[in-house]
Amino acid sequence: MELYEKRLSGETLYEGKIIDLCKDNVLLPNGATAIREVVKHHGGVTVAALTDKNEIYLVSQFRYPNAGVLVETPAGKLEKGEEPLEAIKRELKEEIGAEAENYYFLGTFNPTPAYCSEIIYLYAATGLKTGEQHLDEDEFLDVKKIPIEEAVKMVLDGEITDGKSQALILKTFMLLQDGSIHKLLI
């Protein structure tokens, strides 16, 4: 089946700090037209930071849109044009005060591809040297580390609801289990 949609015209409705909003007219495969509302975002990164005992770092932070505290893997936004690996190194330093010896690239994650361009780059990191947190001025979060098996249980029990963290924790655990994470070393 032909699936492609062609942009006919569009306008930018909002240019913001984190996101822009566009509204495009598109040509559907059957020749009809439709409106596509698109949230544009530079993308983000998240990391499974693992100690030598396979503990994983998790951060708790307030997420305003649903007014609740979520438990998540450390994460951050990409600056325009920034390499994902550079962003991972910065976020590790800021959020848990760590530098890592080894980085693994675990693929990409489209959080909500129907209406948002954001792509999140998934990483794991091992060989951590931890020092002091260096949070941004407007960043408030609690950090802890727990055995990865416990984090998996929190995902399966529905306690970790953040999407990227669910995928990253389960992916990392399965790749550690079968040893294939080593092929993803960068």
Residue count of the chain, please give it: 186
3 part of the interface to a second copy, by CB under 8 A: yes
137 part of the interface to a second copy, by CB under 8 A: yes
Do residues 48 and 125 make contact, with C-beta atoms less than 8 angstroms apart?
Answer: yes
Give the binding range for a second copy (CB under 8 A) out of 12-20, 49-57, 95-103, 123-131.
Answer: 12-20
Using CB under 8 A as the binding rule, the residues of this chain from 26 to 85 that contact a second copy are: 26, 28-30, 32, 34-41, 60-66, 69-70
- Shortest distance in whole angstroms from residue 51 CB to a second copy: 22
Q: Of 179, 158, 161, 147, which is closest to residue 48 (Cα–Cα)?
A: 147
Nearer to a second copy, 126 or 166 (CB): 166
Distance between CA 56 and CA 53 in Å, rounded? Answer: 9
Using CB under 8 A as the binding rule, the residues of this chain from 117 to 136 that contact a second copy are: 117-120
Nearer to a second copy, 61 or 101 (CB): 61
Count of C-beta atoms within a 10 Å radius of residue 109: 20
Nearer to a second copy, 69 or 83 (CB): 69
Q: Of 70, 61, 71, which is closest to residue 150 (Cα–Cα)?
A: 71
Active site includes 37? Answer: no
For the chain, how big is the Rg over CA atoms in Å? Answer: 19
Distance between CA 170 and CA 173 in Å, rounded? Answer: 5
**Which of the residues 86, 137, 139, 150 is marked catalytic?**
137
Q: Which residues are catalytic?
A: 137
